[in-house]
Amino acid sequence: QVQLVESGGGSVQAGGSLRLSCTASGLPFSKYTSGWFRQTPGKERDFVAGMSWSGNTFYGDFLKDRFTISRDDAKNTLYLQMNNLKPEDTAVYYCAARNGVWTTHVEQYDDWGQGIQVTVSS
């Protein structure tokens, strides 16, 4: 049974930083495409950042180098380092994985975490 568990969310002031973690059981991130998405109430879930099984990374166009995705295969954990946070980054952030080539399309990811709230105040 696959389980993705996010941690590290919370509240921060604009300009601050947070690091999200996603620990997987039941699948190895080193053999899956993985990613982070975010969603605000009433809006679609948007792609934030992703990593292929081989370690290639890709990001949403809006980030402008503020976020970094990384992975620790020994811990089977995916990370999202978020710097210079802005109020518009406020959202529920989701970790996701798929057994296939990398993609930014939410509907092509098979496994999801429960989501974690990130709130950025001005």
pLDDT one-digit tens code per residue, 12-50: 999 999 999 999 999 999 999 999 999 999 999 999 999
The Cα–Cα gap between 63 and 76 comes to: 25
pLDDT at 65: 87
Phi, psi values for residue 29, rounded to 5°: -55, -30
**Residue 80 near residue 93 (C-beta atoms within 8 A):** yes
Calculate mean pLDDT across residues 98-116.
96
| 3-class state of residue 12 by DSSP | strand
Using alpha carbons only, how large is the chain's radius of gyration in Å? 13
